[in-house]
Amino acid sequence: QVQLVESGGGLVQPGGSLRLSCAASGSSLRIPIMGWYRQAPGKQRELVAYIRSSGSTIYADSVKGRFTISRDNAKPTVYLQMNSLKPEDTAVYSCYAYLAQDYWGQGTQVTVSS
Element (H, E) at 16: none
What phi and psi values does residue 12 have, to the nearest 5 degrees? -145, 150
Sign for the CA dihedral angle at 21, 35, 17, 14 comes to negative
State the pLDDT confidence band at 38, using cuts at 50, 70 and 90.
Answer: very high
The pLDDT confidence band at residue 49, using thresholds 50, 70 and 90, is very high
Residue 104's pLDDT band (cuts 50, 70, 90): very high
Contact present, 98 and 37 (Cβ < 8 Å): no
Between CA 24 and CA 16 the distance in angstroms is: 27
What sign results for the dihedral spanned by CA atoms 100, 52, 108, 92?
negative
